[in-house]
Amino acid sequence: MKKPTAFFLAMAVSALGVSAAQTDPGSCSAPLVAISSEGDVLSGEKAALIDAVNAGRTIRVGFGLGQGDTDGYFLTHWFEARFITVLGDDVFTQTPFIHRQRPDADASDIFLTDESQKWVATMGTNGILHSRFLDDSKVATHKVDSWWCAS
């Protein structure tokens, strides 16, 4: 597996290959829709997600970071979507504010940073995640695979 990229070091926080997105949604056994980092529907339908949102169902979102050559993702994050926007044929959500952490694959652990630093992101079924730390005005944009589930 690849070591964390600069993206992970800059965004080493938790909110909460196409083949990996299609077959391993993690904490959701049947995603309503799986989206590639290019915004393509890999499985399911966006319309099913929109129907679930409009019906008031609880939505969980997962996204993969740091995909290795053969071993899947460096890590995946999951969160319950509490603020959801339907815009045209896409669905967007905002992560809760979280305290910054630093995943360490070598130690198989996740450490909180010493400084108090909060992180938030928006992401959508367009494959884009926009994130920022609250003490930094710069917004970073990343392409991510994601899984959208309902209960």
61: in domain: yes
Cα–Cα distance list, 130 to 4, 49, 93, 108, 123 (Å)? 19, 21, 11, 27, 6
Q: pLDDT for 103-151, tens place per residue? A: 777 777 777 777 778 888 999 999 999 998 887 778 989 999 999 999 8
Residue 20 above 90 pLDDT?
Answer: no
Q: Residues, the chain, total? A: 151
Residue 1 forms part of a structural domain: no
121 pairs with which residues across the strands? 131
Among candidate residues 73, 72, 61, the one with its CA nearest the CA of residue 33 = 61
Domain total of the chain: 1
* Host domain of residue 40: 6-150
Cβ(33)–Cβ(44) under 8 Å?
yes
Q: Using CA atoms in the order 127, 75, 133, 94, what is the torsion angle rounded to 10 degrees? A: 50
Q: Give per-residue pLDDT as tens, 63-98.
A: 887 665 545 666 678 889 989 999 999 999 998 887
The H or E element containing residue 7 is: helix 6-11
Q: Is residue 86 part of a domain?
A: yes
Give mean pLDDT, residues 32-41. Answer: 94
Q: Is residue 43 part of a domain?
A: yes
Residue 78 lies in a domain: yes
